[in-house]
């Protein structure tokens, strides 16, 4: 990639992914049940080697993958991204035994991963989480803990096969007292329920009633879990922006096609200056967001020092832009776009959540300001 354009091979790969998403993944997504994990779709992502790419790719390649899949099948994109989000801490901080047991299954689409950070009282302020980890030598041997509390708005819960869980072990105040654990779903005391949300992908609540974990379940060191969480989010935040850009580009292309053929006032909608100017604004904002996402991903791959600021900027601009573009696309399509099953009706429900998860837009602005003043 140059500073402002993808290379020919990258463009070809993205085109192949968009075609693959529409032809191979969209039919499986359509057969799935909203709000439930679609295991056949995950298995196909594994068989196609796309889940493998999530763990082997750099940030830019991850962004291209997510953007291209989102254009053709948002459900496939989300299923892929959630596997990466839930299992990346295992890749980066897990033991050899944890990696050998879980990662091949995740890459193949046989095991479902989940990232369990948010709580009823700790969403945007992740350092305020309250899930307790009480020392208990009987739990997992010497140096064990028991987890007690709740997690909420956890993607893939309660159907995941394992959870990356962040709990308070108390080595210090705030973020300094948080530890990351790998918790298999069959641990005694762990239960959950699905939540009926606006977006169609699976989200649920988890209850920990003295769930035993031991030193073998640690992801990294005690008291260092917040760093594990932030390292994961810094990688995935630009690619959340890429997901948003993929949706924006799909909405923009649908709008161009619709306004070019829809009869209106003796011509077509696109002949109207008000419509043409609005489409021009949608296209300009989408392109600006796309370039900022690529720049943030490139900075991550280069090991730049300003990754937190760039990642926050990319997620902020791209998700806010996608909301704008999809909303105006609905307006230009009129009532047809509100009909259940229409592409834009689907995108309208999908596009709202990314402005909240993995750090709401207000949190991204706080990160950007903090980094600027640092």
- Active-site positions? 358
Long-range contacts (CB closer than 8 Å, 24 or more residues apart) made by 190-193: 191/158, 192/154, 192/157, 192/158, 193/158
Cis bond upstream, residue 371 (ω within 30): no
Question: In the 8-state DSSP scheme, what is residue 163?
Answer: E
324 CB neighbour count, 10 Å cutoff = 18
Q: What span, in angstroms and rounded, lies between the C-alpha atoms of 16 and 189?
A: 45
Rounded to an integer, what is the distance from CA 220 to the centroid of its chain? 22
331 CB neighbour count, 10 Å cutoff = 13
């Amino acid at each position: 990639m140059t500073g402002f354009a993808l290379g020919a091979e990258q463009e070809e790969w993205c085109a192949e992914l968009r075609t693959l998403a529409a032809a191979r993944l969209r039919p499986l997504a359509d057969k799935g049940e909203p709000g439930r994990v679609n295991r056949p779709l995950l298995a196909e992502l594994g068989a196609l080697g796309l889940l493998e790419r999530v763990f082997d790719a750099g940030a830019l390649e991850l962004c291209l993958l997510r953007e291209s899949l989102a254009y053709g099948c948002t459900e496939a994109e989300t299923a892929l991204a959630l596997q990466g989000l839930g299992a990346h801490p295992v890749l980066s901080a897990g033991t050899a035994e944890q990696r050998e047991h879980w990662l091949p299954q995740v890459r193949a689409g046989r095991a479902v991963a989940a990232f369990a950070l948010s709580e009823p009282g700790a969403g945007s302020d992740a350092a305020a989480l309250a899930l307790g980890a009480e020392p208990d030598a009987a739990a997992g041997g010497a140096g064990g803990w028991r987890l007690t509390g709740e997690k909420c708005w956890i993607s893939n819960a309660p159907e995941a096969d394992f959870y990356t869980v962040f709990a308070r072990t108390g080595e210090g105040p705030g973020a300094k007292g948080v530890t990351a654990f790998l918790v298999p779903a069959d641990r005694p005391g762990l239960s959950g329920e699905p939540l009926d949300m606006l977006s169609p992908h699976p989200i649920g609540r988890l209850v920990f009633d003295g769930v035993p974990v031991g030193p073998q379940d640690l992801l990294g060191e005690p008291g260092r879990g917040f760093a594990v969480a932030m390292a994961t989010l810094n990688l995935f935040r630009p690619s959340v922006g890429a997901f948003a850009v993929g949706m924006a580009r799909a909405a923009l292309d649908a709008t161009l096609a619709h306004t070019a053929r829809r009869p209106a006032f003796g011509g077509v909608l696109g002949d109207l200056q008000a419509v043409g100017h609005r489409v021009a604004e949608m296209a300009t904002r989408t392109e600006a967001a796309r370039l900022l996402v690529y720049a943030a991903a490139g900075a991550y791959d280069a090991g730049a020092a300003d990754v937190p600021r760039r990642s926050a900027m990319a997620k902020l601009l791209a998700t806010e832009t996608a909301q704008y573009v999809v909303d105006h696309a609905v307006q230009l399509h009129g009532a047809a776009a509100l009909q259940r099953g229409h592409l834009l009706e689907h995108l309208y429900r999908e596009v709202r959540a990314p402005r909240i998860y993995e750090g709401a837009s207000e949190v991204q602005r706080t990160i950007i300001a903090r980094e600027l003043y640092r």
